[in-house]
Structures are given as structure tokens and as C-alpha cells.
Structure 1
Amino acid sequence: MLANFFGKSKPVNFLVIFALFLCLFFISLLTNNQHVNNINFFLKHFGKTLVLFLILFSVYNFILSKNELTFDNSYAFLFFVLLIGLFPNTITIDKNFYINLTLFLALRKIYSLQSEKSTVKKLFDGGFWLGICFIIEPFSLIFCLLFYAAIFLHKKITIQTLLVPMIGFFVPIFLYFTYCFWHDNMVSFLQLFKWFTSYEFDIYFQIKYSYGIFLVLFLVATSLLLKTPKALAVNNTFKGNWILIMFNLLVTLFLVVLSKHKNGGELLFTFFPISIILANGFELLQKKWLKETILALLLTTSFTASLFL
């Protein structure tokens, strides 16, 4: 029943999944005494989060639909929301959220390189958004590797395509430098190049994270084993996209490791490639009872994590 409903891609599916997100978000607010005791803060926080996540979801679905990263269904978006519920700390408008939103705007350009239209403009725009992301989080520079992987996989290697992303990347950095110089605040600009991180991973061994991480790792590994041989066996556009998605996952995992302050919210970076990988693996399952069981398990664990962890 659930698998059949989400096996379609219609506006009603988007509304149902967004309603599911609202339930998870509302639960996270109710379990936070600070929000509940202050009604004004509660309403303001609710409205702001609602609007910003709606923008994030819209960009996410735009990337999926325009680049055909899954079949015509709603599984990827559903998994994306369930991952948010599984790790409730990601339902927060903080630095990690803005990094992720900016990365989405860059990814929108990266994945669209499969098309022959406006390649140079896409590379410049993507580099520009990545430059903004670098100002927010310097370690996001690692996503430059994804840019050049896309250029290589989609066979668009020229001097121009190699240089344009760099030009786009340096434009916002130069503007930020000018702003800091004008306001005599060069210390802030120089902070971008003082890279340090924390290798404390104790938070991921807490019960509220370890169970979810183990479950997701198992499902991702299974999906990769199911989909990768089929995707690589056919020489088409999706083959390049599938390699890019796997590389995207690797890059986001590095970004999580390099994050300075690990509070669980940084896991949001990984949800884009993970949700797409899970959807592609889920599509290949033939037994309906198995699909229903997996969806029921993820729904149950997401709500349990939001309520009790």
C-alpha cells in the first residue's frame, strides 16, 4: 500500500511527504521545552523553518526531476524526509542548513551538466554558489572535486570548462574580501584560511545516532550492491550520473568528518546522495511485502527517534 502510493510522482505525493515532515518537525518542537514554553519563539521558529525547508525541498525535487536521477516516483523525497526524522538534530535552521541549501544550488548546476545547453553558464553559476558556500564553511572547498568529476564524466573537458568554475568560485570570495577590506575587518576574511577541525566522533556512538547510522549504512550498502552492476552495464547518461552520485556521497562523508562542531546536524550533508541511492535500490525490489516492511521500519524508526531520542 505505502510502496504503491509513493511509487508515483504526483503533486499529492509531495503534499503527503511534506505533511510527514511537518509532523516530524512538530514533534521535535514539542520535545524541546525551550520552544514550548515561549509561544512567540515557537511561532516564529515554526514559520521560518517551514519556509526554508520548503525552499530546500523544492530545490531537491527540481534536481531529481530535471536530471532523472530516479524513476518517476517519490521514493527519494520520502527517504530524504525520513532521514531527517531519523536524525532530529538536522531539523534546525543553523549554519549546517545554510551550507546544505547553498550546496543544493551548486549541485543543481553540477548534475545538469549532462545536458548540452548553457554549459559555461552552469559551470560559472555552480562555481559562484560554491564560492558562497566556502565563505560559510571553508571545508566545502572539497566539492570542487565533484565539479571536475562531472566535467570528466560528461566529457566536457576543455580549457574553458576547466577555468570557468574557478572564476565563478573566486567572484564571491573577491566581493567578500572587498567588503572586509572596506570595513577594516580583514580578520574575518583571513579566518577562511585558518583551517582546523575536530576528530571527536563520540556523538555518533550515542544510541540516538548509532542505531540510525547502522540502519542507513546497511540499506545504502545493499542499494549499491543492487544498483551499481546494472547502472554500469549500460553506457548511457545515467551511468555517469550514478558514478557522480556515489562520488557525491564520498565527498559529503569527508565534509562530515571535517566539520568543526559535530552535533549531528552535519549529517544533513549526506542526505542528498543517500536518499537517491536508497531510492534506486528500492526501485529494484520485486517483492511487495519487502518494500512495505522497509518503509514501515523507516517510518517507525523516524518517529521513534523524533519522540524519544
Structure 2
Amino acid sequence: MITSIFSKSKPINFLIVFVITALAFLTIKFKHIDAPVSSMFIFEQVITFLGLYFSILVLNFIASKNDLTPKSNLEIVLFSFFLLLLPESLFSAKVIWANFFILLAVRRLVSLRTKKRVKAKLFDAAMLIGIAALFYFWAILFFLLIPLILLFHSDDNIKHWVIPFVGLMTLFILCVGASIVMHDGYFRFFKVNHAICLDLSVYNTLQYIVSTAIMLVFGLWSSFSYVSSIKMKTSGLRPGFKVVFAGMFIAVVIILISPNKNGSDFLFLFAPLVIVIANYIELIKQKWIKEVFFSVLLITPIVFLVLNFLSVS
């Protein structure tokens, strides 16, 4: 019954996702608000929330346009569930914007399957990942997706391998120019934290343990089916599926090495993870198993929402 609600692409699903995302966003803001509630503060939060919701719409576009998931809205519904399961993923506005630009970059990379405007797409993807790194330094690791997708496409055009670096260099030159004009210095525009922290003790709480366990179990279980299904895809679709899987591992690395262990880094994981899980849910034949699978992903976030609300109160 639950899965049938989201089994087809419907406008109501986007409204449901909007409401769930807003609940997660408001939960973390009320829980950690430490700034005076001024008109400027409210404006900044609204803009950040719109950036978050547009990220979800970009995810839906990537998945549906490139046949990465069945023709439903499962991926964005699952994304909103994970936001509610771990609202700390919305702690940092910079990570939200970095994730937005990473998704735009992935959109360009996955669309390489059409073999149209390849150079422009590679250049754009590199610049978008570079912009994401300006918000959050370790997002630069997603640059690895560019040579990976070229390998997956067996692309031996040397220009295609060089262009992404040209894109990054172009962004670097623009930033240096902006730094000179705005700050009277060459590199003052670059305010990044490139430190590495491997201490995961901050995640030793009930919410993090349960949330991580759910993502780990469901992610690993779904991954076996996901990897097997890649072989059955057409040659044009396979690189996109492989890039999504690679992106999931890069996101895990970012979570492990991030200098600020506040939960915000998990946001990078959600997009590739929900694509993997959505594919598995659609392949489940037994309806009751599908219902149980989906119910756990629905009920657990609601329980944590109540707990978070009580802690705020």
C-alpha cells in the first residue's frame, strides 16, 4: 500500500517531498539555531532551503532523464526520508550548496551517453565541481568521476581528458581575479578547510548509530542487486550507473575524512544511495517484503522527528 503511493510519477509526490524536506530543515534549524532571528537570517534560510529543494528536483531529473531509476518518484521520496532520518545532514548551508553543484555536475556527466557536446559537458562538470569545492573543499574528490566516466565510455580522445583540467584552471583564474578586485590579494577568495579528521567518536549517539546502520544495511543489500543489474543495461546506460555507484564510495570517503564531524557530510551520500535503493525496491517481487522495506525507511525518520521535537521543546 505504501509503495503504491509512490509507484508512479505524480505531482502530489513532489508536494509530499517538499513537506518532508521542510520538516527536516526546520528541525535542524530549531535544534541548533544560535543566531538572532532577523529578516536577513530568514532570507538566508529561505534561499538555502530553495537550494536544497532544487537539488532534489535536479536528482529527479538526473534519474528520470537518464533511466537511472524506474519511472517513479521513489528516489526523491527516499532522499527526503533520509533527510528526516538524519536532519544533521542539513547543518551546513555550505554543504547544501556544494551538494547542489555536485548534482549539476553529475547531470552533465551522465548525459555524456548522448555523445553530444561532449567537450562542453566535461568543461561544465569540472567547473561545477570546482565551484562546489569553494563551498566545501573535499567536494573536489568528485572530480574523480570525470576520468572514471571517460574510462567507462572507453573514450581515448586526449582532448576530452585535458578539458576538465582546463575547466578547473579557468575557475581558478576567475577566482584569483575576483580576489584581487574584492580583497586586494591573490588568494584571499579561497577560504577552504582542507584538514582531515578520522575521529568518528562524535557519531557515537543513538541517532547516528541507527541512521548509519539503516543506510549501511539497506545500501549494501541493494548494492548487490544494483551491480548485477548493470550488466543487463544497454552499453549507453552502463557508464551512468557506474558513476552513481562510484559517487557513493566517494561520499563515504568524504564522511570518513571530513574535518567537521557534524553530520552535514552525509548529504553527499544520499543522492547516489537512494538511486541504488530505489532500483532494488522496484525489483522486489514479493509485495510484503517491499512494504516492510519501505515502512522501515518511513517509520524510523518519523520516530526520530518526534524525538528531535521533544528535545527542542
Change (3 A) 1:298 1:42: farther
Per-residue displacement from partner, 1:135-171 (whole Å, max 9, x unpaired)?
Answer: 2333222222111111111233301111111111111
Task: Give the corresponding residue for 1:74.
Answer: 73
Tell me how many residue pairs correspond in the alignment.
307
1:41 deviation in Å? 7.8
1:153-192 aligned within 5 A: 153-182=152-181, 183-186=183-186, 188=188
* Cα RMSD (Å): 2.4
Change (3 A) 1:134 1:28: closer
After alignment, is 259-268 or 296-305 more displaced? Answer: 296-305
Task: Give the corresponding residue for 2:95.
Answer: 96
Change (3 A) 1:54 1:33: closer
Change (3 A) 1:3 1:190: closer
Q: 1: distance between equivalents of 2:229 and 2:28?
A: 39
- Contact kept? 1:82, 1:298, Cα under 8 Å: yes
- Contact kept? 1:131, 1:170, Cα under 8 Å: no
Is 1:298 matched up with 2:297?
A: yes
Q: 2: distance between equivalents of 1:208 and 1:39?
A: 31
- Which runs of no fewer than 5 residues in structure 2 stay unpaired? 309-313
1:29 deviation in Å? 4.7
Q: 2: distance between equivalents of 1:105 and 1:202?
A: 33
- Which runs of no fewer than 5 residues in structure 1 stay unpaired? none
1:258 deviation in Å? 2.5
Q: 2: distance between equivalents of 1:296 and 1:2?
A: 7
Change (3 A) 1:157 1:204: farther
Q: State the one-letter code of the partner of 2:4.
A: N
1:244 deviation in Å? 1.7
1:77 deviation in Å? 0.8
Q: 1: distance between equivalents of 2:282 and 2:54?
A: 26
Task: Give the corresponding residue for 1:276.
Answer: 275
Task: Give the corresponding residue for 1:22.
Answer: 22
What secondary structure is seen at the aligned counterpart in 1 of 2:272? Answer: helix
What secondary structure is seen at the aligned counterpart in 2 of 1:237? Answer: coil
Using structure 2 for the length normalisation, give the TM-score: 0.89
Change (3 A) 1:132 1:27: closer
Is 1:119 matched up with 2:125?
A: no
Task: Give the corresponding residue for 1:106.
Answer: 105
Task: Give the corresponding residue for 2:221.
Answer: 222
Task: Give the corresponding residue for 2:259.
Answer: 260
Q: 2: distance between equivalents of 1:23 and 1:235?
A: 39
Q: State the one-letter code of the partner of 1:108.
A: R
Is 1:87 matched up with 2:111?
A: no
- Contact kept? 1:203, 1:264, Cα under 8 Å: no
After alignment, is 251-260 or 207-216 more displaced? Answer: 251-260
- Aligned-pair identity in percent equals 24
